[in-house]
């Protein structure tokens, strides 16, 4: 099937590459000519496992291409997937400007009947508006339907999550639209949940917000564990055997980040408020996460008389391993506070430093190896559990640091091993 994909970020690019991998004829559309040429040369603009490899393979085999010419891409496509960003606005609502721009371009360009599929995360009811907007703006006498097909990929494992998804959710208002999507996803051989458009939109928000709530709940329990003398890892272990709870998303830490959970929790909270409803559980998850991010900074501030003039090692900048994404990363909140209090920061991250330099080009020192950050450091903060960071031994902290004082936001180490190595060690919920 001939597919056009609008947007080449995490959602659009991964979807386009995976569609091509499953045999469809795909063209990805982006407004940035340099980015398009970069992708044509076999490079991915985002760090994601397997992505570049599949980009090169499918481009060379003729199933995948990239362009800025949206009119050419959309005019005779069987299906057009919208995978552009819906960033958070100051009031917590989703910015639909990019979705609207693409919808207008589609209306001006399509010359045959086609299905428009919104993969972007959008508020409930948006697909209805997109369909009406396109129909109001059509230039040619063609039939266009809109369907919802939310993505459920996780950054760092996005390709695998797409090709080996647990389920595919589609939201349609006609048998014809459902049939087209079923045909597109038939080669994936994955269970398909077919519902109406608004239910599909809600499934996306409800899923992400539930996972965010689960993370915040465990962090809340972890904070109480510290006060009462319990160990959150033992608590999570005991909980994990209950099939009603499961073992995923039980790790305590310094909160969630990224492009989905923070934005989607606020968006659903905003949507509920528009209808006069208060989503108390989601609001609690947002509040807990906001406080959790800087928990270790304030713990360290209580321990130290000042950060001014101290060498502070920061290990991990991205919001999670396996990605170069910094959106809502706890490292940003903490580095802002550390800089404000006069710290001399030396930071290491295996893939996130180039992106971080765009925000802090000269304020902090970037190093190529963790040991360079730890050498003669007065204190160390761990914000991301990269393998390179987990490979650091307790003895390394004792050897390299001037004062082996470690604040671990990801509970990488066993407390007794750090203590036996002579490291003063603080973590979450233990």
**Residues marked as catalytic:** 260
Sign of CA dihedral 125, 167, 208, 293: negative
Helices H / strands E in the chain, number of each: 19, 14
Label residues 198-236 b or e (16+ Cβ within 10 Å = b). bebbbbbbeebbebbbbbbbbbbbbbebbeeeebbbebb
Count of Cβ atoms closer than 10 Å to residue 273 Cβ: 15
Q: How far apart are CA 157 and CA 165, in angstroms?
A: 11
Token readout for 266 is 């606020």
CB-CB contact of 292 with 224 (8 Å): no
Helix (H, G, I), strand (E, B) or coil at 316: coil
Beta carbons of 308 and 341 less than 8 angstroms apart: yes
Which residue matches tokens 């890892």?
A: 233
Size (the chain), residues:
430
Give the list of residues 6+ apart from residue 336 with CB closer than 8 angstroms, or none.
none
CA distance linking residue 19 with residue 312, whole number of Å: 45
Phi, psi of 413 (to 5 degrees): -105, 155
User: Is residue 218 within 8 Å of 250, Cβ to Cβ?
Assistant: yes
* CB of 236 closer than 8 Å to CB of 250: yes
């Amino acid at each position: 099937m001939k597919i056009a994909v609008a947007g080449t970020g995490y959602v659009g690019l991964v979807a386009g590459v995976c569609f091509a991998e499953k045999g469809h004829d795909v063209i990805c559309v982006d407004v940035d000519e340099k980015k398009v040429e970069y992708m044509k040369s076999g490079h991915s603009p985002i760090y994601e496992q397997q992505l570049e490899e599949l980009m090169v393979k499918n481009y060379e085999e003729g199933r995948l291409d990239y362009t800025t010419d949206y009119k050419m891409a959309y005019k005779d496509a069987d299906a057009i997937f919208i995978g552009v960003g819906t960033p958070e606005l100051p009031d917590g609502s989703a910015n639909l400007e990019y979705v609207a721009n693409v919808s207008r371009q589609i209306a001006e360009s399509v010359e045959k009947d086609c299905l428009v599929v919104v993969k972007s995360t959008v508020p409930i009811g948006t697909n209805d508006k997109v369909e009406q907007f396109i129909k109001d703006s059509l230039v040619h006498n063609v039939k266009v339907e809109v369907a919802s097909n939310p993505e459920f990929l996780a950054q760092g494992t996005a390709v695998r999550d797409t090709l080996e998804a647990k389920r595919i959710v589609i939201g349609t208002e006609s048998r014809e639209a459902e049939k087209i999507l079923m045909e597109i996803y038939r080669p994936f051989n994955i269970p398909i949940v077919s519902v109406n458009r608004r239910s599909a939109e809600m499934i996306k928000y409800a899923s992400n917000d539930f996972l965010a709530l689960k993370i915040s709940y465990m962090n809340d329990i972890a904070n109480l564990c510290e006060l009462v003398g319990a160990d959150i890892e033992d608590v999570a272990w005991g909980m994990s055997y209950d099939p009603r709870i499961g073992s995923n998303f039980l790790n305590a830490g310094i909160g969630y980040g990224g492009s989905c959970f923070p934005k989607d929790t606020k968006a659903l909270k905003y949507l509920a408020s528009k209808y006069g409803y208060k989503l108390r559980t989601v609001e609690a998850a947002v509040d807990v996460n906001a406080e959790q991010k800087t928990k270790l900074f304030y713990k360290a501030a209580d321990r130290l008389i000042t950060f001014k003039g101290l060498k502070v090692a920061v290990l991990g900048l991205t919001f999670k391993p396996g990605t170069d994404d910094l959106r809502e990363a706890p490292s940003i909140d903490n580095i802002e506070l550390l800089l404000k209090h006069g710290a001399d920061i030396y930071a290491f991250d295996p893939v996130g430093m180039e992106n971080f330099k765009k925000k802090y080009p000269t304020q902090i020192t970037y190093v190529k190896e963790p040991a360079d950050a730890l050498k003669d450091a007065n204190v160390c903060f761990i914000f991301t559990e990269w393998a390179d960071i987990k490979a650091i031994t307790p003895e390394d902290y004792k050897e390299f640091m001037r004062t082996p004082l470690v604040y671990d936001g990801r509970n990488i180490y066993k407390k007794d091993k750090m203590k036996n190595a002579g490291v003063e060690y603080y973590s979450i919920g233990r």
